[in-house]
Every structure is written in structure tokens, then in C-alpha cells.
Amino acid sequence: MVSVGFWFLSLCLFFGVRVHASSSSTTKDLQPYRTGFHFQPPKNWINDPNGPMYFNGVYHLFYQYNPYGPLWGNITWGHSISHDLVNWLILEPALTPKETYDIQGCLSGSTTILPTGPKPIILYTGQDINGSQVQNLATPKNLSDPFLKEWVKSSGNPFLTPVNDIGPTLFRDPSTAWIGPDGKWRMVIGSEINGHGTALLYYSTDGMKWTRSKKPLHFSSETNMWECPDFYPVSNVGTNGLDTSFQGNNTIHVLKASFNNHEYYVLGTYDPKTDMFHVVSNDFKVSNAQFQYDYGRFYASKSFYDSAKQRRVIWGWVNEGDSESDAIKKGWSGLQSFPRSIWLSDTRKQLVQWPVKEIEKLRAKQVSIKSRELKSGTLLEVSSITASQADVEVTFSLSKLDKTEQIDSEVADPQLLCNQKNASLSGSIGPFGILALASKNMTEQTAVFFRVFKGPHKFLVLMCSDQSRSSIAQEVDKSIYGAFLDLDPLHEKISLRSLIDHSIVESFGGEGLACITARVYPKVAINKQAKLYVFNNGKENVTMSSLNAWSMNKAQITPMV
């Protein structure tokens, strides 16, 4: 079989692209927190993913990037391309802050592919010379360039400025546009109007000139500023994604807003003729919002429709949990989550996310365990794989729930529960799960686990990601994150998939019903010293129905010379 690295280099040679050599294992030893298969450039600061798209056979990922250092500032649009969402070629930045309308930063935005041509356009927020946030447009310089390396800013920029009731610093992050039955394009921009988080709605006949609707698409009286809004349809039938402009029956629309350091979304029905969006799930709230893309360290996500695979794919920015001084020492800060497919769950009540299938091409040595009873106190090492760079899938089943712990409410705060009942505190059913990036003496461990409770009317399955013992270092974040899984543990298995990649543990519970992303900075459990365990610290036995774990090869993330 031809190696992934050989394939990628051959592709670059085919297009006449020169690349830098990839970093050596010595560099990995000196930089134990750099990831092997999550996207991050070789150095410097990155944050929000911007404008991902699939165009003429190439995937494009843009992102907020500081080309001059590992802290926020000098924000440009970094640009990388791929043919498989796994291996990436890093190009020169697509947008740099040079004009009066973006001199203080080319901030977040989206891409839209206009049918004439077809031609992609970038809609982005610039921070102008006065510090105001204004909306700008850019187009490719040469559509025949397969990589779209150069982009030209419109002579009409800025095409929108904050006027009337819009605060000058509360107007940013235009969404991907969609076209309605009247032939007009629509997009939303994040804002805060009279203290209310808002998705402002705008219209255009050509994708170039935009006017504001009298009414926003949606707003919330209980939240502050909405960043990075996203609006798209999902199918009521199957798992295939839909184009952002899709109009038809059997669809639900998703509105996502970023605030309070999390990604909240609501489901609703959308009438493209009237632009009325009616929420059918719990609406946005400052506290106890019902649905989040991810309950951990995951923010400013952006989605796109992948027409090649008929799926919707999202990325999120995963920021650091160490200090600015650590970033300066490392020379970099931030990474992107692994791209995820997203669709409507079988219950049609929420979204499901799963790593894109292409990740499987990085899988190497495999370990499999079938049907193992985990008695109380079990600690089972999963050996013979690279535990610091792994893909782990494990499924548990429960046969008896008669001794389940009682809980008074079915609307309890899952993060508070995970803090109160962490991995070291024994319950009746749980905690059980995995210990990732664990040291041999167990002084360091990142626990991703489940507990089961009995509420007034149903069982509650709690998923936790516990960083409280993730590092012997004192100055790093050691948060504990939590979420509930909407499943019945009496009749359904409880599954966990974790992507472990040196300083990130990206976990998917209940086949993607809840996702929790954590950043960890072990001092001992690094590289070959990292261990992986399955455990049961509950009083009742648990059956591990199956476990499959793979060492993961390194993705090719290579800068162009």
C-alpha cells in the first residue's frame, strides 16, 4: 500500500508545489503537546476556523492566524487546502490587514459559492482604523488556480458598516449565504441589539451588495453578543447533509450562536418565503441552554456542505489551557478540532456529530477486546498501541439497574454533577470509562467516563471528562466537563469514542449524542510514557461489550515554500 505521506507529496509535485520537510521525532520530544493529526500550523497563533468549503475538488480551510507570533494580534486569514480533510498543504494567508477598513484585523467570516461561474466569495469582518467592525468582500484572483491561492478585496469595501442601533464593536462574523425562492441571497451577522444576542438578517440580489431586513432572523433576550452565527438545514430522513440553500420538505433548520465560551444551537422550522424561523427546541439562554455542539473547550465553529460526500462538516477552534508564557515558550497557540460530520439524531430532537470517515486512513496497529466483565475496581491497561496518539472506541452494556443512585431532578446541571462525583468517587453504576494520557504511577490521568442515575421518570446517563488529575503542573487548566446522553441504558449500549492526540482528548459519547473536548498538559504521561486504561470504579459490575483501539499515524500538515 502506498503511504499517506508519499501520496501527499506526489500530489504536491503534480501541482508543482514545493513543501518544507516535516518536523522530526526530536522536535516532538521537545514539543510534547503538538498534535499528530489535528490541524495546526508549524508555529504562531490560530483561532476561529473561517470559510471552509469544497470547490473544484479541493477542500479549503481558512482560519484566524497571527503570522508574527504565538499570541493574538495581526489577525490574517490563514489558508490551507486538502483533498481528504486529513492531510493539509499550508498556503500563504488569503487576507492580510492592510486597508483602512481592516487594518486592525481581518476577523471571522464565511465563504459562499455563487452559481455564476461558479465563483466563491469571502464575506468577512474587518476592524477598521477607528476600531469599528465593518463587513467586507473578497474574490479569487484566478479561478483557474486549483488552490485559489490569491484573493482580491472588493473596491466597494466596506459594504456594510455599523449604523443606527448597531454598536461599532458588536457587528461581526457574517455567515454563509443562502438563496431563497425569490432569487435573493440571505446571510446573518452576529450582533447585540439593546442587550439581546441577535442574528441580523441581510438580503442581496447578487451576493455583492447587501441591505438589512426590518427584522432579525432570531434573537434572545437572555443572552449577550452572538458571535459566529451559523444557519443551515438538516434532513429529517437519513444522515446526508444538505446544501445551505436547500428548500424542500422533511427538513429542520439549525441556528448556532457562539457566546459564553460555548457553541449553543436551537432547532426550528424556517419559511424561506417569509424568513420566519420558529424554534421547536429550548431557546437560547444564558444558563442551562439545552444543546451545545461540544461541552468542553470548543468555540467559534463553522460548517459547510461537502457536495462530494453529501455531508455537512464542522470545525471548531480548540484553544489552550496553559498560559501566555507557555505559548511564547512553545512558539504556538491553538488548534482546530478534527472535522466532524453532523446530522439530525434518530429522535429528531438534537444533532449528532462524528469524526469524518477519512480519519480511518491514519489508523495503524489495532488492539481489540471483546465481551469483558469489568468488576468493581477494575483497571485494565490497553497495551501495544501508541497511547499518546490513538483512536479508541469502547462500548459498555448494563444488565441490572435496580441499585442505581437516585437523583431528584431530571434537569440537573451535568457539569456540576461531574464536579461533585468525579472519577475517583465510587457510585453505584459508575464511574466507568477510560483513563487517557495516564502515567504508569497514575499521578496523571484524564478520565472520560459515565455514571448512571435514576431520575423521577427515567434513567440519566452522565458523561464526564475529568482533567482534575491530568497534569502534575499546577498552572494549567484542569476543568471537569459534563453532559447528559439521551439514551436508555436498559435497552441501549453506552458507547465512547476518544481521539487522543498528545494535548487534546476529543470524546464522543452515545455515538455522537454528546461531545466533550479537553486540552491537557501532562508532564510525565507524554509520548511513549503515556498509558491507556479502561476502568470501572463503580460498585456494580459493568460489561465492556467491545473495545477497538488504534495507534494513529501522523497527518501530513506541510507548509508550501
Which residues are designated catalytic? 48
- Using a 10 angstrom Cβ sphere, with 0-12 exposed, 13-18 middle and 19 or more buried, the burial of residue 17 is middle
For 361, the 3-state DSSP assignment is helix
Query: Cα separation of 416 and 400, whole Å?
Result: 26
For 112, the 3-state DSSP assignment is strand
Query: Cα separation of 434 and 378, whole Å?
Result: 11
Which amino acid, residue 113?
Answer: I
DSSP letter for each residue of 145-184: -TT---EEE-TT--SB---TTS-TTSEE-PPPPEE-TTS-
Report residue 348 as a C-alpha cell: 429528531
Contact (CB, 8 A) for 411 and 426: no
Contact (CB, 8 A) for 396 and 494: yes
Contact (CB, 8 A) for 87 and 341: no
Our CA dihedral for 63, 68, 74, 80, rounded to 10 degrees, sits at -20
Contact (CB, 8 A) for 437 and 388: yes
Query: Cα separation of 158 and 214, whole Å?
Result: 21
Contact (CB, 8 A) for 489 and 454: no
Report residue 208 as a C-alpha cell: 455583492
Contact (CB, 8 A) for 173 and 108: yes
Q: Compute CA 18 distance to the chain's CA centroid, rounded to the nearest angstrom.
A: 30
Report residue 504 as a C-alpha cell: 487534546
Angle made by CA atoms 7, 8, 13, in degrees to the nearest 5: 95
Phi, psi of 152 (to 5 degrees): -115, 125
Q: Compute CA 127 distance to the chain's CA centroid, rounded to the nearest angstrom.
A: 25
Query: Cα separation of 296 and 318, whole Å?
Result: 9
